[in-house]
Amino acid sequence: MNKLVDVFVGRQPILDREMNLFAYELLFRGNSEDNRALVVGGDSASAQVMLSAFGDIGLPEVVGDRRAFINFTEGLLNPEYEAFFPRRHIVIEVLESVEVTPHLIASLQHLKQKGFVIALDDYVFNPALEVLEDYADIIKVDILEVGPKPLIEHTAKLRAKGIKLLAEKVETKEQFEYCKKLGFDYFQGYFFAKPNIVQGKRLPANKLAILELLSRVYDPDIDLRRLSELISRDLTMSQKLLRFVSSNLRMQREISSIHDAVLQFGLQRLKSWTSMLVISGVDDKPLELFKTALIRAKFCELVGARLRETSVDTYFTVGLFSSLDAVMDVEMKSLLDKMNLCQEVKLALLERRGKLGVVLDAVCGLEKGATDFALPNGVSGKELSTLYLQAMRFAEEAKLF
């Protein structure tokens, strides 16, 4: 049997109706010896990867106090693995590809009796799987695969059974609102990572101020006095900056002004942190989006340090700004046209090109549980997984939100 060396972990947020974080879906993958991540197939391999991940990493390190939705192959549903999976912290996702057999039914009955929460994954109302509804606490509906009429009919029937509904592959705000109207309880999908881009509309004044501030922060010829003036114009930004500086630095003296705070904080910290502070003031987006941006930023910075790059700040910037179009509802190219960023950063953000683009592509792949991305030069899959977990802990401990 081939030894499984590297373990990947990706997590995707699952939100409730108020767009608060409810849980994460976790995806674990093994990695081959070449420079691309590959799926390890089969029940045995899947079990080894998952058990290794639980043993080496630990759920609290990955999801905190939230539940973890985990895909289970039919082999993993075997009661002999039950002791490895803490029932209070996981949701067992039964894959849509399972074959309904007496053995599967018996396993679900047993797990249900033991108090495990069971979800049916990628459900498309296949009559052959209908018997599984009796064991489901949550049903994840692939809304892109189900037509409007069946969606209405079946969601009403499932809600009448007392089953919680989770809308998968929510890609637009309209889909989110529509599924809320139908009574869905939870939501997962691309909308929460990258909302629709609205073209042809002028940005509100507060967002223009944010863009101007961001462009100045990363301007190599920045004048700190000018930066202080920009922050001082906006009461919310000023308050956020002062609160953050006060709570994260041991001040030798009291702060007398915004400019004083900027000077005490220092330009390098401002370049890394002010951008997160100001974009987190955009209150019509889920907080998980900002956490994603900070995780990406820290991951890219850690990989840059692992590659012994001298400009780790540039790696941080690439990760942080990779979500900026989603936050601002503006095309990435339009945003970058307003900012004095180097060509290497622009190529990474727009086309995923260059060494920065490879690192950005890797973190985006880890988030989605993808396995077809290239690994940064000289960095193994296991190292990437470790750095990703460090970045997640960093975002949780940053207390920006």
What pLDDT is recorded for position 76? 72
Q: Average pLDDT of 127-150?
A: 88
* Digit-coded pLDDT (tens) for 354-382: 999 999 999 988 887 776 788 898 888 88
Quickly state the pLDDT bin for 399 (edges 50, 70, 90).
low
Q: Beta strand pairing status for 6-16 and 186-187?
A: antiparallel
3-state secondary structure of 97: coil
Q: What percent of the chain has pLDDT over 70?
A: 66
Per-residue b/e over 131-140, b at no fewer than 16 CB within 10 Å?
A: ebbebbebbb
Give me the sign of the Cα torsion angle 262, 263, 264, 266.
Answer: positive
Residue entry with tokens 């895909």: 71
3-state secondary structure of 93: strand
Q: Average pLDDT of 324-340?
A: 74
The alpha carbon torsion through 112, 117, 118, 119 (nearest 10 deg) reads 160
What pLDDT is recorded for position 298? 87
Q: Residue count of the chain, please give it.
A: 401
Residue 37 near residue 381 (C-beta atoms within 8 A): yes
Q: Would you say residue 227 has pLDDT above 80?
A: yes
- Beta-bridged to residue 6, according to DSSP, are 31
Residue 165 near residue 16 (C-beta atoms within 8 A): no
What pLDDT is recorded for position 31? 44
pTM, two decimal places: 0.57
* Digit-coded pLDDT (tens) for 73-125: 776 776 656 655 778 888 998 888 888 888 889 989 999 998 999 999 888 77
Q: Beta strand pairing status for 6-16 and 21-31?
A: antiparallel
Q: Would you say residue 228 has pLDDT above 80?
A: yes
DSSP string for 264-333 = HH-HHHHHHHHHHHHHTT-TTS-HHHHHHHHHHHHHHHHHHHHTT-S-HHHHHHHHHHTTHHHHHTS-HH
Quickly state the pLDDT bin for 126 (edges 50, 70, 90).
confident
Q: Would you say residue 219 has pLDDT above 70?
A: no
Measured CA to CA, the distance from residue 376 to residue 393 in angstroms comes to 22
Amino acid residing at 180: K
Quickly state the pLDDT bin for 321 (edges 50, 70, 90).
confident
Q: Would you say residue 384 has pLDDT above 80?
A: yes
Q: What percent of the chain has pLDDT over 90?
A: 17
Q: Would you say residue 254 has pLDDT above 50?
A: yes
* Digit-coded pLDDT (tens) for 269-281: 676 555 555 555 5
- Measured in whole angstroms, the distance separating CA 105 from the mean position of its chain's CA atoms is 33
| Tokens, residue 82 | 């039950």
33: left (phi over 0), alpha (psi -120 to 50) or beta: alpha
Residue 47 near residue 90 (C-beta atoms within 8 A): no
* Digit-coded pLDDT (tens) for 21-40: 899 887 654 443 333 333 33
3-state secondary structure of 31: strand
What pLDDT is recorded for position 17? 92
| Tokens, residue 229 | 């003036």
What pLDDT is recorded for position 350? 93
- Beta-bridged to residue 12, according to DSSP, are 25
Residue 176 near residue 195 (C-beta atoms within 8 A): no
What pLDDT is recorded for position 230? 79
Amino acid residing at 8: F
What pLDDT is recorded for position 226? 84
Quickly state the pLDDT bin for 135 (edges 50, 70, 90).
very high
Quickly state the pLDDT bin for 258 (edges 50, 70, 90).
confident
Quickly state the pLDDT bin for 195 (edges 50, 70, 90).
very low
- Residue 105: burial class (beta carbons within 10 Å; 0-12, 13-18, 19+): middle
Measured CA to CA, the distance from residue 319 to residue 301 in angstroms comes to 8
What pLDDT is recorded for position 144? 86
Residue 143 near residue 125 (C-beta atoms within 8 A): no
Quickly state the pLDDT bin for 222 (edges 50, 70, 90).
confident
Amino acid residing at 133: E
Dmax of the chain from CA atoms? 72
What pLDDT is recorded for position 355? 93
Q: Would you say residue 201 has pLDDT above 90?
A: no
**Alpha-helical regions (H) of 218-252:** 224-232, 235-248
Measured CA to CA, the distance from residue 9 to residue 131 in angstroms comes to 32
* Domains parsed from the chain with CATH numbers: 6-192 (3.20.20.450), 205-398 (1.10.3210.10)
* Contacts for 202 with CB less than 8 Å, ≥ 6 apart: none
- Beta-bridged to residue 119, according to DSSP, are 93, 138
* Digit-coded pLDDT (tens) for 158-185: 999 999 999 998 888 889 999 999 999 9
What pLDDT is recorded for position 325? 78
Which range among 51-55, 318-322, 333-337 has the greatest average pLDDT? Answer: 318-322
